[in-house]
Structure 1
Amino acid sequence: MELFHFMHLFVIMLFQRGHKRYSNLSDLDLIQLYKQEENLFTIPLLYERYGHLVLGTCIKYLKRYEDAEDTTMKIFGELNQKIEKHTIQHFKSWLYQVTKNECLIYLRKQKTHQTPIHENLLQAENHETEELNERELKLTKLEQAIQHLKNEQRICIELFYLKDKSYQEISNELNIPLNTVKSSIQNGKRNLKIWMESHEE
């Protein structure tokens, strides 16, 4: 059996054994769960969510499917160690950067000197790193903006956008009217926009 397909089968097995409840956790909740308990299901579930994206990025850089497959397995095989060492705020962006770094390391090992192809890849890496840093900066600024909201607006925004809660679920959880939830989210969005615009560099 190919190693690449093992993770798929393992995730399916976990769900069949009744561990589907973990799939409702956010990326950051899964990471926190692993750091606290070294939970067995964290890495397979993250693979289930992002394995295809990692593989696609590896194919883009390495071209050969077999090399991309091996690198994908290496990334997820070492993910638990990296999770323990790093403070991660935005897992998807962080994993994307980890994947590109692994691809470039692989390419450097294949050649003792850079070819024009490698130079182009490095230029693409620098450009994409700048874009990633810009996205990270915007996300960090958004987090700061959320902290400046009124308490009720902040909680409703976090539950709705970060926890994927419905209006009704938020209403039940906070014991507030449904219309209050909707207005808090709308007002919170407007205040976030105002704060972000007033703090543009």
Structure 2
Amino acid sequence: MKRFIFVLQTLKPNYQLSKSLHNGKSDVELIQLYKSTSNTYYAGVVFQRYSHLITALSYKYLKNKADMEDAVMEVFEIMVRDLKSHEVKNFGNWLYSVTKNHCLKKKNKKEIPVGENGDQLKNESFFMEFDDEEDLNNRRLKEIRLEVLENAIKSLADEQKKCVELFYISEKSYKEIAGMTGFSENQVKSYIQNGKRNLKIYFEVNE
């Protein structure tokens, strides 16, 4: 949090005096000031009102002080970028969602193993694209979803079906799949991407 205060102090002279002058303004007023002036200081003042919430939420998901501090700064950067293009009615709720989504993405990125040629694995990372429920690690839930996935795969074209099964079910790398099927690695990647897109369409139609 000291890093965040330092950033605020560099944005505008006489930080403590200016902060006291703007503390009486609502979140909406400060956001409008930021949008109209592009002065990050105003975004910083409204962000600091929720800094304890953001810090606690970041630590809850990341369990690490250094990662938490990085996440707080990253959320601030996301906020100043997105506020310019988003109409935010309830800033607190919006910032909570931004923080939670960012921390989950950061946490999942650290936890997802990397296979040969940098392929990101596999069943769990695939399911995260469809559902971010926190109890995804429940064994029975994963078994049910694997059955659903296998049924959906049957709707794919043969090339897509073969590559998707080998990649997500058998956990083979692009190189291994190419060797087993005779496809080039680029073809394998294309079949998997197209297959994944068709699976998303399948789930949307059949949800």
TM-score (norm: length of structure 1)? 0.51
Contact residue 58 and residue 103 of structure 1 kept, 8 A: yes
Given that 2:9 and 2:15 are in contact with CA atoms closer than 8 Å, whether structure 1 keeps it comes out as no
Code of the residue aligned with 1:6 in structure 2: it is F
CA shift, 1:13, in A, is 6.1
Distance in 1 (alpha carbons) for counterparts of 2:25 and 2:135 = 31
Please report how far the alpha carbon of residue 21 of structure 1 lies from its aligned counterpart in structure 2 after TM superposition.
1.9
User: Equivalent pairs: percent with the same residue?
Assistant: 31
Change (3 A) 1:86 1:43: same
Q: Which runs of 5+ in 1 are unaligned?
A: 127-201
What aligned pairs does 1:49-128 form with structure 2 within 5 A after superposition? Answer: 49-112=49-112, 113=121, 114=124, 122-124=132-134
In structure 2, the CA distance between the partners of 1:3 and 1:38, relative to structure 1 (3 Å rule), is same
Secondary structure of the structure 2 residue equivalent to 1:24 = coil
Structure 1 residues 5, 15: closer, same or farther in 2, change over 3 A?
closer
Residues 1:7 and 1:51: Cα distance change in structure 2 (over 3 Å): farther
**Cross-structure match for 1:173:** none
Unmatched tracts of structure 2, length 5 or more: 113-120, 137-207
For the residues of structure 2 that align with 1:13 and 1:52, how far apart are their CA atoms?
24
How large is the Cα RMSD of the aligned pairs?
3.3
Report the structure number with the largest CA radius of gyration: 2
* Alpha-carbon separation, structure 2, partners of 1:106 and 1:90: 24
Residue aligning to 2:43: 43
Closer, same or farther: CA 35–125 of 1 in aligned 2, 3 Å: farther
Aligned residue for 1:20?
Answer: 20
Aligned length: 122
Do 1:11 and 1:48's aligned partners in 2 also have CA atoms closer than 8 Å?
no
**Would you tell me which structure has more helix in proportion to its own residues?**
1
Describe the superposition over 1:89-115 as per-residue Cα deviations: whole angstroms up to 9, x where unpaired.
000000000000001110121122549
**Would you identify which runs of 4 or more consecutive aligned residues in structure 1 move more than 6 Å?**
none
Pair 12,86 (structure 1): closer, same or farther in 2 beyond 3 Å = closer
Output the amino acid matched with 1:79.
M
Aligned partners of 1:88 and 1:94 also within 8 Å: yes
Tell me which amino acid in the other structure corresponds to 2:39.
N
Instruction: Tell me, in whole angstroms, the C-alpha distance in 1 between the residues paired with 2:48 and 2:79.
Output: 14
Structure 2 CA distance for aligned equivalents of residues 51 and 75 of structure 1: 10
